[in-house]
Amino acid sequence: MTFKLGLTGSIGTGKSTTAAMFVEEGCALWDADAAVHQLYDVGGAAVAPMQAHFPDAVINGAVSRDALRSIISGDPSALKRIEAIVHPLVTKDRAAFIAETIADIIVFDIPLLFETGGDAAMDAVAVVHVDAKTQRARVLARGSMTEAQFEAILAKQMPSADKCARADFVIETDTVEHARAQVHSVVQQIRSRLKDA
């Protein structure tokens, strides 16, 4: 039996670092953002349908996220049509990953897991969390977004406290060592559950 663990957390909480720690523990990792990047890349399954519906979104044979952003800002209803193309392809990619994986635990790194109802397909959910001040400092230190952009992303995400309340496991990422110890503990708990199953 393979255990499906959803991994989610708000921007700047250390989700990617935490996902890598699960891999170090021998878990398989499916990354929703990486899957979308692959679908949008040259030769990706999303390129042809996107070109058919949004010709301006495809540049040099790949779907441009910047172009999609400007299409959506000009026509907010376009988002639903884009999602209708991308979501089934992402679901197919995830199913193929599950079918090919032999690991006992698969971690699904999905930023909007609760927001999209994806938690229903998981055996358990781990939420990555850090205090709001640290979160803001981490995001702004990247230098890739303004305070306003950060606030806009936060507004689209379920509040961290709500995610934590719905989680089976909460991983505090205040320090790397603390996060790693908690990841190890989560994996041990799941593996002992699998052994007793």
Q: Which residue has the tokens 């929703």?
A: 32
Comparing CA positions, the residue from 161, 163, 45 lying closest to residue 96 is 45
Name residues of the chain where pLDDT drops below 70: none
pLDDT at residue number 157: 86
* pTM of this structure: 0.89
Q: Does domain 1-27+105-197 have CATH number 1.20.1740.10?
A: no
**For residue 114, what are the CA distances in angstroms to 14, 98, 107, 167, 185?**
17, 20, 15, 10, 23
CB of 22 closer than 8 Å to CB of 29: yes
Comparing CA positions, the residue from 135, 134, 156, 167 lying closest to residue 8 is 167
- In angstroms, the CA 19 to CA 14 distance is 9
pLDDT at residue number 116: 87
CB of 186 closer than 8 Å to CB of 171: yes
pLDDT at residue number 145: 86
For 64-112, write each residue's pLDDT tens digit: 999 999 999 899 899 999 999 999 999 999 999 999 999 999 999 999 8
What percentage of the chain carries pLDDT values higher than 90? 84
- In angstroms, the CA 76 to CA 31 distance is 26
Boundaries of CATH 3.40.50.300 in the chain?
A: 1-27+105-197
pLDDT at residue number 82: 94
pLDDT at residue number 1: 81
Comparing CA positions, the residue from 185, 135, 144 lying closest to residue 163 is 135
